[in-house]
Amino acid sequence: MVCTGYDLSNSVFSPDGRNFQVEYAVKAVENGGTAIGIRCKDGVVLALEKLVTSKLLKKDANKRIATVDRNIGVVHSGLLPDGRHFVSRARDEAASWRGTYKAPIPVSSLANRMGAYVQAYTLYSSVRPFGITAIIGGWDAETEVDVDGVVGSGPKMGSGGKTKGVKEGGPYLYMIEPSGSYWGYYGAATGKGRQAAKAELEKLKLNPKDDECITLEEGVKEAARIIYVAHEDSKDKDFELEMTWVSAVNGPTKGKHEEVPKELREEAERLAKKSLEADDEEEESKMEE
């Protein structure tokens, strides 16, 4: 890069219209542990490759995937404190939404607000862009939700302007980059192993219109496997798998964002390791031929 001063200050356009400071923030993200999100037929899975920097760190402590409101999860890759700040803001946004509308914030609205917030940090030279890419996954209630604080059943007619039997809500997944740009995804990956993870995600059947769209349980197993695959390139370092999920009200998490139960996670990890070993053997046998 020709250093002519266009990369020294945030919010400065280079002659070809780029904000170099934002691009440097992306570099910080690319160093972080791999984080992925999978949108399944009946829920969303979030998974994180948490690099273990010391044997003195307590196992299963220092959780990195955060909950926003009750039904939304956020996983991020990059600078950890920036992620904390992001989550804190997301929680405030969710609370403020409830204050106004007396109902949980839809995942799409949260993504929109957080996108706007992150983008604001590319507008001024007095601030620096977020050094994270965040994946937001959640479940919007598909049943009619009571207004917060409701005390009775109210009128028997139901709320106005609604067509009977119409279902809304479902699983949602968004990824927000340091520039503030965000899109909805079937499967999203960020961090060091994102290329390998994306290649694996593309092999999965994730289109909701497709009858074969994978289920939440399958998603959990795939998520664990993909994190293990993405870790292959930095095999020498230890890591912990952190995994959360959110399902419909009648699913395993009852519409809440929760940690994947220990037994299920360990089973998924066992399968992941097994599939990696199988791959290795396959390669070895090919080599021998």
Which element (helix H / strand E) includes 93?
helix 80-101
Contact by Cβ (8 Å): 188, 175 = yes
Contact by Cβ (8 Å): 243, 271 = no
> Which residue, 74 or 189, is less far from other proteins as judged by CB?
74
Kindly state whether residue 146 participates in binding other proteins, applying the rule CB under 8 A.
no
Shortest distance, position 98 Cβ to other proteins, whole Å: 7
Question: Which of 1, 3, 56, 151 is the binder for other proteins (CB under 8 A)?
Answer: 151
Nearest Cα residue to 277 out of 229, 241, 205, 221: 229
The amino acid occupying position 266 is E
Kindly state whether residue 95 participates in binding other proteins, applying the rule CB under 8 A.
yes
Nearest Cα residue to 171 out of 259, 265, 107: 107
Contact by Cβ (8 Å): 173, 185 = yes
Kindly state whether residue 148 participates in binding other proteins, applying the rule CB under 8 A.
yes
The amino acid occupying position 275 is S
Helix axes 194-203, 216-231, angle to 10 degrees: 150
| Token reading at 11 | 């919010």
Shortest distance, position 144 Cβ to other proteins, whole Å: 17
> Which residue, 113 or 225, is less far from other proteins as judged by CB?
113
Nearest Cα residue to 132 out of 89, 177, 181, 193: 177
Shortest distance, position 101 Cβ to other proteins, whole Å: 12
Kindly state whether residue 91 participates in binding other proteins, applying the rule CB under 8 A.
yes
Kindly state whether residue 98 participates in binding other proteins, applying the rule CB under 8 A.
yes
Shortest distance, position 152 Cβ to other proteins, whole Å: 4
**Per-residue interface string for the shown chain with other proteins, residues 61-90, x marking contact by CB under 8 A:** --x--xx-xx--------------------
Kindly state whether residue 150 participates in binding other proteins, applying the rule CB under 8 A.
yes
Distance in angstroms (rounded) separating the CA atoms of residues 12 and 14: 6
- Map the footprint of other proteins across residues 239-278, applying CB under 8 A: 259
**Per-residue interface string for the shown chain with other proteins, residues 8-47, x marking contact by CB under 8 A:** ----------------------------------------
Question: What is the three-class DSSP state of 207?
Answer: coil
| Interface contacts to other proteins, rule CB under 8 A | 63, 66-67, 69-70, 91, 95, 98, 102, 148-153, 259
